[in-house]
Structure 1
Amino acid sequence: MLALVIVLVTVPVLVLPMARALHRVTRKTFTPVREWARTATYLLIAAGEAYLFGLVHMESYWGVSPEDACVSRYGNWDGMHGDARYWPLERKCTEYIDMVPSYVNPLIIILLIGALACALIMSVYIIRQCRTSPSTPS
């Protein structure tokens, strides 16, 4: 529940001002380039939100040791696990129980690949626009 609240709070505080700034910056550019740039940026923002969501799940009980968090959430703790990895996000309670939901890391990778694809398509449009625009003699 805390993870959902934090993600919902970051949307109006961080994401909406970033979207407005992006709209102002890309307002006068060529239409396809603008749309691909905005899509790539929104995908990067979504990847950041997904990472934040995973971090909050990993550290869901701030001030509580990983052992206490695992016992209260899952009823099980293995002393050999519990170290945090920040990429890929992982904090294990036992060999098979992870505090981070299993869909978070693949979602981040898919969003980053989508942003990279949008940036590549945007660069193709920019190159085509530069090649087809008439050059002015000096």
Structure 2
Amino acid sequence: MASVVGVLCIGMVAGGRSGVRAVRAGRWGRPGTWLSLGVACVSTGVVGFAVAYLIGIFSGGLDVQEACVHGHGVRYDDAFRKAHADESNRWFPLHSKCNEDFDLVPAWVNPAIVFFVLLAAIGVLCLAAAVVTALRTRRDR
């Protein structure tokens, strides 16, 4: 697990650094530029998604009632939780509501998840652009 995180962090830093240098130098037509940008975007998207999703999933803790009452000082409504049980068990958007007015999942988590998924998708498009650019360069020789 630690090696995966290490590789992703290296991808974020090295890919971002070399990608920014290539863009500043105007080397858009080179496959390395797209590869660097793609690696940086995919790595950042995966790490950001994992962090945001884990924070959202574990925001209620092991005992939601205790987190509501003692952790945040809000009323826990068991009837509301039972009536909306499917809402707390969904993969997305994440919710862990104490009552109709208070959600334990921070408000920034769901938008962050969407942002990081889109960033990873942009990274995949950059990797595809790297392949296309490499094939065009090879064909033109």
Whether TM exceeds 0.5 here: the answer is yes
Task: Write out aligned runs for 1:1-138 (5 A).
Answer: 15-20=5-10, 30-39=31-40, 40-59=42-61, 62=62, 64=63, 66-72=64-70, 73-82=72-81, 83=85, 84-85=88-89, 86-134=91-139
Uncovered stretches (5+) of structure 1, i.e. residues with no partner:
1-9
What's the TM-score once normalised by structure 2's chain length?
A: 0.67
Uncovered stretches (5+) of structure 2, i.e. residues with no partner:
16-30
Number of residue-to-residue matches in the alignment: 116
Pair 1:57–1:119, CA change in 2 (3 A): same
Quote the RMSD (CA, aligned, Å).
2.8
What's the TM-score once normalised by structure 1's chain length?
A: 0.68
| Cα distance in 2 between the residues matched to 1:31 and 1:96 | 50
How high is the sequence identity, in percent, across the aligned residues?
A: 22
Displacement of 1:130: 0.5
The equivalent residue for 1:3 is none
Larger helix fraction of residues: 2
| Cα distance in 1 between the residues matched to 2:50 and 2:134 | 31
Larger strand fraction of residues: 1
Q: Which whole-Å deviations, capped at 9, do the CAs of 1:51-90 have from their partners, x for residues lacking one?
A: 111122132xx2x3x2232111233112233332332111
